[in-house]
Amino acid sequence: MSPFKSIKGRALGKLLEGYQTSTLGQGFGSGSGAAAAENGTVSNPFTSIANAYSAGAANGMHYFQNDNVNSGIVFQLRYASYDSRGWVETFYSQDSTQSTPWDHFLTYVGGAARPTLTDYNLTGGGLNYSNGSGNDIGSVIILGLGFNIVDVAITSKSARENNGVAATGQNQQSALPLIASSDLAGTEAAQARQRLADFFEGTATGFSIGGNVGGSPNEDYAAYWSKSGANPTGPFEMHLGFREGNQSTSEFHIVDGNNAAGSTFAPNIGWRTGGQSYSQSNLGAWSSNSGGKDVAYTIDSGNVLSVWLSDTL
């Protein structure tokens, strides 16, 4: 028996037979039924950084969406094209207080030795760039696994609202921006790059890198910062709330300040507490010494620490 009893039903059945499964629906409604291209608006947010780059997005604020961020609701990120790929800013700070990381965006879950980066001072699910009271210190967003982050850029900005990865704040020896995939060296540079990406996306804990693994000092990865063309090129270490096997609530060195193995002193980039002459919060310095850095490199509203993430190498 035919499944369509009426003349109109039989006609519809013949129409449906003419469509393959992959094209069913294209003959109904509007056009091909294809989704609108992502363009960074509320109605068509970008779902990856690479998509924003492919679309030729301009440097500036754009809407993004991911199930793992902001409960799946669209949110804004500052986007930039640099080094032939896309980046988004997920961290900035203009806070010179030496205890800033531990005051605001680091947590040692359950008393763990290694810290975890946390969301801090968000608005609308994204970074807070407001001038309002309490909102002028910094902001951090955790993107989680959904964005597949593989690289990190560290730079300085002369104002927190500035667009772009290129350094506009302090930049001794033109060392900034630091690009993890280009400026980390050593036999485990690739592993250190990915661990740094995982840390800033919020899926891995703080760690420690230098030239030695399993020796003294004992680092997590045999890797270090080395900037071609700078003097010195390096090697500089990294200690993110964890140093050489031990919890550290006094050192958050994105780039330490002494190129001797196991010595740190004042950070070239980062924060250090403790009351010594080398207890400072610095950005844009690139020197090796056993004292403090010049006051010009202090993190502040005109020398803003900025971290950018990319999903492309």
DSSP string, 167-188: --S--GGG-PSEEHHHHEESTT
Whether residue 42 lies inside any domain: the answer is no
What CA–CA distance (Å, rounded) separates 43 from 191?
A: 37
Total domain count, the chain: 1
Whether residue 69 lies inside any domain: the answer is no
Predicted TM-score of the model (pTM): 0.88
pLDDT of residue 20: 41
Q: Spell out, as residue ranges, where the chain has pLDDT lower than 50.
A: 1-31
pLDDT of residue 27: 37
Cβ–Cβ < 8 Å for 74, 64: yes
Whether residue 180 lies inside any domain: the answer is yes
pLDDT of residue 133: 66
Whether residue 68 lies inside any domain: the answer is no
Q: For residue 94, what are the domain limits? A: 79-310
C-alpha torsion angle, residues 113, 139, 57, 26 (rounded to 10): 80
Whether residue 178 lies inside any domain: the answer is yes
Whether residue 1 lies inside any domain: the answer is no
pLDDT in tens, 205-257: 999 999 777 777 789 999 999 999 999 999 999 999 999 999 999 999 999 99
pLDDT of residue 216: 73
What CA–CA distance (Å, rounded) separates 281 from 269?
A: 7
Whether residue 11 lies inside any domain: the answer is no
Whether residue 197 lies inside any domain: the answer is yes
